[in-house]
Amino acid sequence: MGVIGGLIAVLIIIPFFLCVLALGKTIAFRKALKKQMVKAVPELEQPKTKEDAVAMGQVFEEIGFFDYLTMHFKVCSITLFAVISSLLSFLIFFGVWMSADTDFGEALRFTFPMSLCIFALFGLFSYEDWKKQRGIIRKCRDEEFLSVCSEEECVSHFQILYDIYKDYRQRFLGDQDRKRWQVIRAAAAVLLLCLAVIIYKAVDEYIGLGPGPKKNRQYSCEYQILEDNSAEIISYFGKEPQVIIPDSLDGHPVSIIGPEAFKGNYELLSVELPDGIVEIGDSAFENCYELKEAELPDGLKSIGNSAFSGCDGLKEVELPDGLKSIRTS
C-alpha cells in the first residue's frame, strides 16, 4: 500500500510542480516583455498582405515576442491539461468518497485507474494542440517557408499571432491586466490550499506515512504505529457480531488492544485475538453487553483495568498461562 500510495502522491505533485514552474517562467518573461512592448513598440496594424506579415514577423523577432508566444502556448496547453483533468478526476473522486460506506482510501484506490486514463487522454490532447501551435510559430519564423508560401496562408498564420499580440498589448497598457492577474493569483492560492489538503489526507490516511492514527477499512479499525513498528488498535468502528483481530495491519503486527477500543459495542458477540497480542488496555471491552466469547492468546501478558467490565454475557474466559498482570485499579 505504501508503494502504491507513494506513486499516487508523486503523480499528484509532479504535474502540479511542473505547471507552477512553467507559469512562473512565463510571468517573469511576461514582465520583461511588457516593459519593452509599452516603451519601445508602437501599435501594429493588422496584416493584410504578405509584405505586412513579413514586416510584422521582423518586429516580433526583435522584441522577443516569438519566444514569448512559444511559452504562452506551452503554458496554455499545460493549464488546460491540469485544470480539466484534475477537475474531472476530483469530481469523480469526490462523488465516490461521498457515497455510502466509502472512506478516503477506498475512494482513492477506486478512482486512481480512471484518473490515470483521464490524465493520459487530456495530456495527449494538450500535447497535440501545443505541437500544432508551435508549428505555426516555426513557420512564421522560417524565412524559407515565408518565401514560398501563398499570401493567404502567410496572412492567416500571422493573423493568429497578431490577435494575441493586440490583446496582450491592450492589457499591458490598462488596469484590466493587473486586476486579471490578481484574480488569477487568488484562484491559484485557493487551488494550492485545496491540493495541499488532499495530499495531506492521502499521506495521513492512505499511504500511512503521516502522523496520527491510521484507518484500515478491511478490518473496520483505527490503529497507531508504536515505536517497535507494531500496531495498537485504538478503536473499532465495525458492526460485525463476530470479530477476528488480524495478525497484522498493513504490515504492522498487532500487539495491543488499546484502552476503550471496543467500549460500548452492543453488537459484539465474540472476539478472537491473535497470538501477537501482549496487552489489552483499560476498558477495552467495557460495556459490551452482548459479548459471550473471548478467545485470549497464549502470548497475552497484561489485562487492563475494567477491560471486560459490564460484559454481562461473558460467563467464562480461559486465561493464558503467560498472563502476568490483571489491573483492577
Q: Where are the domains of the chain?
A: 2-207, 215-329
| pLDDT score at 207 | 47
Residue 168 pLDDT exceeds 70: yes
Type of residue numbered 329: S
Query: Hey, what's the torsion of the CAs at 76, 81, 86, 87, to 10 degrees?
Result: 70
The mean pLDDT value of the chain amounts to 77
Per-residue pLDDT band for 180 (boundaries 50, 70, 90) equals low
The C-alpha R_g of the chain, in whole angstroms, comes to 32
Predicted pLDDT of residue 21:
64
Q: Which residue has the higher pLDDT, 116 or 6?
A: 116
- What is the sign, positive or negative, of the torsion defined by CA atoms of 34, 39, 40, 42? positive
- Quick one: pLDDT at residue 278? 93
User: What's the pLDDT score for residue 2?
Assistant: 44
User: What was the pLDDT predicted at 34?
Assistant: 61
C-alpha to C-alpha distance for 118 and 91, rounded to whole angstroms: 12
Per-residue confidence (pLDDT) for residue 247, from 0 to 100: 92
Q: CA 156, CA 53: separation in Å to the nearest integer?
A: 9
Beta-strand pair 221-225/231-236: antiparallel
* Statement: residue 153 has pLDDT above 80: yes
Calculate what percentage of the chain has a pLDDT beyond 70: 69
pLDDT of res. 53: 87
Report the pLDDT averaged over residues 168-188.
63
Span 4-41, pLDDT tens digits: 445 555 555 565 666 666 666 666 666 666 666 555 55
Q: Are 241 and 267 in contact (CB under 8 A)?
A: yes
Give the residue-averaged pLDDT of 77-84. 73
pTM exceeds 0.75, yes or no: no
- Among 3.40.50.620, 3.80.10.10, 3.90.1300.10, 3.40.50.2030, name the CATH number for the domain at 215-329: 3.80.10.10
pLDDT, tens only, 189-206: 676 676 666 666 655 554
Question: E-strand spans in 27-86?
Answer: none
At residue 277 the predicted structure's pLDDT band, cuts being 50, 70 and 90, is: very high
Instruction: Please indicate whether residue 214 or residue 194 has the higher confidence score (pLDDT).
Output: 214
What percent of the chain shows pLDDT beyond 90? 17
The pLDDT value given to residue 233 = 94
pLDDT digits (tens, 9 = 90+) for 81-96: 777 777 777 777 777 7
CA neighbours within 13 Å on the CB side: how many for 114?
14
pLDDT band at 58 (very low <50, low <70, confident <90, very high): confident
